[in-house]
Structure 1
Amino acid sequence: MTDIPERPALARELPPGGFRHFDLVMAAFVAVWLLSNVLGAGKVAQVDLPLIGPWPFGAGILFFPLSYVIGDVLTEVYGYARARRVIWVGTACALFLAFMSWVVVALPPAPSWTNQPAYEAVFGQVPRIVFASIVAFWAGEFVNAYVLARMKLWTAGRHLWTRTIGSTVVGQGIDSLLFYPLAFWGAAGWTTELVVTVLFTQWALKVGWEVLLTPATYLIVGGLKRAEGVDVFDEGTDFTPFRVRA
């Protein structure tokens, strides 16, 4: 019978003084998520690829995948329950951002201020895009956290790269499959071909980002585990997403 490899010699429970860096990781996660909504949602950029020609892609690919990398770090170091709490915090912040964007855009501009059309173009995302973004984020992040936590048990905590990449393949796939059809299917300027092209391009680029950032993920995860003195395994964890408390 093959022996199960020993797990790292780190504590399994919350340190007596609490976590030292959890709040910073949570803040980074929420910041990237909000920035992706403000700067990246809805804009399609294009590059000319050799032998292929013009190829469109969503501008949010430049930084949105970082939320999944940070999500992997959260689940790997702090466990699914605390990652779940952060996902709910991010969702609440996104809803507040969407509401306040609507309020500010709806405010009547001063007669001397002529930038209302540009302001609406940047911050006045249609409710359909906001809804699609929040639904896709919520579902994708929970799937990402669940797959990573389960794979950590299956691998006995070894081979981190398999679960960071594997969870991203599934989580980002769910995210893209939900967001682009919900946000742009049938919308002006978005043909079916463009929706499908951008969807699969985004998914492939997001997974590619995860692969490229794997060395950095190893460094961050290792440093946080040593600093916090824990390595959480989700044995007996209630994996329902419909809880906020860790």
Structure 2
Amino acid sequence: MIRVLQDRATKLFVALTAFFCVNAALAEFIGVKIFALEDTLGFRPLEWNLFGQTGSLNFTAGTLLWPIVFIMTDTINEYFGRRGVRFISWLAAALIVYGFAFAFIAIHLAPASWWVGVAKDEGVPDYQAAFAAVFGQGLWTIWGSLIAFILGQLIDVAVYHRIRRRTGDRHAWLRATGSTAVSQLIDSFVVLYIAFVLGPQHWPMSLFAAVASLNYVYKMLAAIALIPLLYLARAGIHRYLGHARAAQLREQAAAA
């Protein structure tokens, strides 16, 4: 057991898995917030017009973390292959369910009477209602997120390896952005459709198409902008493992 934990490849996989799961779970919990980009940056609204929707550019807060999840997915894919990505994907999904389960338990705990009004001066008259609204999110949002996440991850790994078979060890940026382009097209639309069109809010299709499209464009722009980070991670892994061990892992990942 000690010898296994001394293996640098094992330590690397554990670290990547932990960071991936934390980011995936956190993205799900903060994704309930929709923020306005221009207002956040202190700009005037761009007054865009997309599918009949106008105003500022709106995104879910979870989009802040998903580009990091993409980098982690592609890095694990590169060195630990399909089995590695499938393992972390199902583990992250299980942990997300675990987290939401305890959030629902916490919501239904009887609140202390003094705690309910403790934030009145900060503009929150009912702390219990606020807690339930933020952490509850609703079953439609939770299941939509989980279904979209698993679909996106499984599609990502399949597209990644299909591109890898054509390019070999060359063009890491192409298989990373190519797999993200396909997987996130599915993810961005599935999660919002289940959560906000089929769910109790019943978004009109124009709003759904506008927000989903903007979220997808943002994810793709962020994925492209983070390509240097992908190569930095790759260089760091090669230094940590040694070039021979890193090359061995990549060969095994490609063949699996």
Asked if 1:208 corresponds to 2:210, the answer is: no
Q: Is the 8 A contact 1:77 1:230 kept in 2?
A: yes
Gap regions ≥5 residues in structure 1: 1-13, 238-246
Q: Conserved in 2, the CA contact under 8 Å of 1:139 and 1:175?
A: yes
Aligned residue among 78, 85, 94 for 1:83: 85
Of 178, 195, 206, the match for 1:193:
206
Residue type of the partner of 1:84? R
Q: Confirm or deny: 8 A CA contact 1:185 1:195 kept in the other structure.
A: yes
- Cα deviation, residue 236, structure 1: 5.1
**More helix, by proportion:** 2
* 1:150–1:160 distance in 2 versus 1, CA, 3 Å: same
Pick the aligned partner of 2:73 from 61, 71, 74: 71
Q: How many residues align?
A: 222
Computed over aligned residues only, the root mean square deviation of the Cα atoms, in angstroms, reads: 2.0
**Residue number in structure 1 paired with 2:15:** 24
The 1:191–1:49 alpha-carbon spacing in structure 2 relative to 1, beyond 3 Å, is same
Name the TM-score, length of structure 1 as normaliser: 0.83
CA-to-aligned-CA distance 1:127-177 (integer Å, 9 cap, x gap): 110000011111101111221122222111101111010000011111112
Moved more, 44-53 or 215-224: 44-53
Alignment counterpart, residue 126 of structure 1, candidates 127, 133, 138: 138
Gaps of 5+ in 2: 39-43, 49-54, 117-126
CA distance in 1, matches of 2:213, 2:129: 32
Amino acid in structure 1 at the alignment position of 2:29: V
Q: 2:35 aligns with which of 17, 37, 45?
A: 45
TM norm structure 2: 0.80
Greater relative contact order structure (CA < 8 Å, 6+ sep): 1
Q: Percent identity over the alignment?
A: 27
CA contact (8 A) 1:74 1:82 kept: yes
- What SS does structure 2 have at the residue aligned with 1:230? helix
Q: Which amino acid aligns with 1:44?
A: I
CA distance, structure 2, for counterparts of residue 69 and residue 174 of structure 1: 18
Q: Which residue in 1 is equivalent to 2:246?
A: 230
For residue 35 of structure 1, what is the amino acid of its counterpart? L
Partner of 2:114: 112
Range with greater deviation from structure 2 (43-52 or 99-108): 43-52
